[in-house]
Amino acid sequence: MAWNSQRFVRAGELAGVDADILNNAVIIAEQTLRVQSSGPPILTLGHLAHLSGQSVKYLRSLVSREGEDPYRQFTIRKRPVPNQSPRLRFIAVPEPQLMSLLRWILSEILEKAPCHPASSAFAPESKLFNAAFKHRGAQWLIKVDVRDFFESITEIDVYRVFLERGYQPLTALELARICTRLRDVHREKGSIATRNRRSSMRTPNGIGEYNSRIMGTLAQGAPTSPMLANLAVRALDEKLQGVSEKFGVRYTRYADDIILSTTDKTFGRQRSIQLVGEIYAALGLYGLAPNTSKTLIVPPGARKVVLGLLVDGSKPKLTREFRAKMRMHLHFLLHEGVGPRAHAANRGFSSVEGLRQHLLGLIAFAGQVDLPYALRYKNLFRSIDLERRRHLTSSQSESPLRLGWKHLLEPAGATLGSIRRSHPT
């Protein structure tokens, strides 16, 4: 229910609440509502519990950092880098109750907040294709990866985001604690994020149980982390936008991928190196650092790939590697000696369901760029029988015994446009 000051005051008066308390609450609520695209007013932790359908006890345990870590952690392989040993990405997924709470915060507060125009990831209605489209026709392309992006965003950064959204300091702290993860034993060796970093943020109102020696950071795997990261580095986006205008290049940031390009063939390598230096310096100003092993300067004549799409021409296109990958999946799914189950296991999926989700992501990714191609492969995958592992004839295609890819590729409510994927893998 939307906030209504008059209704709130009437209800408070009927409950016997002091008039000064009610007036102060209205002032606080209206301060939040004055913010552009504001979320709902949140007066206290109890008010947040009421709005989100959680218990005050549970919320207080999160804010006080009590009990076991409410995240399940696992690893996935990162994309291989030439001449480097295999690398792992650490994912921390919230427990179901916390996941529900974070999704509420995302939908009711964070998705309403405006991101910088150059930041094209994770915002509502954002598409990877649009981010790549800005770099169409690139002659020189510069790519910089931000190291430990999510873990470099601390609870202080998140606290400031909620302050900017119009919330009082105590409420902003409580929201920041809920949206960050305390434990950092999973950090990779050499991480720029310091272990056991002491918090310099004083607890509002001096609540002793909220004091914490260790700094919380965003968890890669929490639904709120991408939008919070975007909002936390808005000032960085403004700085990098200024740098790009100074050099006369185009700038976008897709999560931790900073991309700059120009259609000017004469831009030159030396100027590109100078631009990279200014990008590095800007990152340092905001407590971030580049992953220098992934910095790329791509000159004219070389293939330009942005977020998995070719941008050499007038519009983004699927790469030949992506098309080969789709053919590979189809080949092994139809192969009499392999089939869906063995193929899923060979590709490192724990189940055929995991492979199905992967294929859905690939199809949705392709659909942003080449819809006829995506629909063709969707129909091809639909024609594969999961259990019997062979191609279905048209007469069999609607058989009630069919337990395979048609139903798996079309779960209830899913459409090609409803599934988003950041990167094809």
Shared domain check, 205 and 219: yes
Domain span at 242: 137-147+235-310
Shared domain check, 221 and 343: no
User: Quick check: is 360 in a domain?
Assistant: yes
The pLDDT score that the predictor gives to residue 14 is: 84
The Cα 423–Cα 319 span in angstroms is: 13
H or E stretch covering 403 = none
3-state secondary structure 373-399: HHHHHHHHHHCECCCCCCECCCCCCCC
User: Quick check: is 52 in a domain?
Assistant: no
Shared domain check, 324 and 286: no
Shared domain check, 393 and 340: yes
The pLDDT score that the predictor gives to residue 396 is: 42
The Cα 275–Cα 260 span in angstroms is: 9
Shared domain check, 336 and 247: no
Shared domain check, 174 and 66: yes
Last residue of a domain, one of 257, 292, 310: 310
Q: Enter the DSSP assignment of 222.
A: B
CA angle 230, 231, 235 (to 5 degrees): 95
User: Quick check: is 108 in a domain?
Assistant: no
Shared domain check, 267 and 142: yes
CATH code, domain carrying 247: 3.30.70.270
Q: How many separate domains does the chain show?
A: 3
The Cα 255–Cα 276 span in angstroms is: 18
User: Quick check: is 5 in a domain?
Assistant: no
Last residue of a domain, one of 198, 215, 232: 232
Shared domain check, 342 and 389: yes
The Cα 68–Cα 329 span in angstroms is: 41
This prediction has a pTM of: 0.77
The Cα 403–Cα 401 span in angstroms is: 6
The pLDDT score that the predictor gives to residue 171 is: 96
User: Quick check: is 297 in a domain?
Assistant: yes
Shared domain check, 74 and 168: yes
User: Quick check: is 402 in a domain?
Assistant: yes
The pLDDT score that the predictor gives to residue 81 is: 54
- Amino acid identity, position 94: P
Last residue of a domain, one of 275, 310, 345: 310
Shared domain check, 328 and 189: no
Shared domain check, 303 and 257: yes
The pLDDT score that the predictor gives to residue 87 is: 62
Place of tokens 């009437």: 10
Shared domain check, 94 and 172: yes
User: Quick check: is 253 in a domain?
Assistant: yes
User: Quick check: is 4 in a domain?
Assistant: no
pLDDT tens digit at each of 425 positions of the chain: 678 787 888 888 888 888 888 888 888 888 898 888 889 999 999 999 999 999 999 999 999 988 888 998 877 766 555 566 666 778 899 999 999 999 999 999 999 898 888 886 676 666 788 889 999 999 999 999 999 999 999 999 999 999 999 999 999 999 999 999 985 543 444 444 433 334 445 555 555 567 766 789 999 999 999 999 999 999 999 999 999 999 999 999 998 999 999 999 999 999 999 999 999 999 999 999 999 999 999 999 999 999 889 998 888 999 999 999 999 998 888 888 888 888 888 888 878 878 878 888 899 889 989 999 999 988 887 777 554 444 444 444 433 323 334 433 443 333 444 333 434 44
The pLDDT score that the predictor gives to residue 124 is: 64
Q: Which of 142, 176, 171 is nearest to 159 (CA)?
A: 176
Kindly write down the DSSP assignment for every residue of 335-373, as one continuous string: -TTSHHHHHHHHTT-SSHHHHHHHHHHHHHHHHHH-HHH
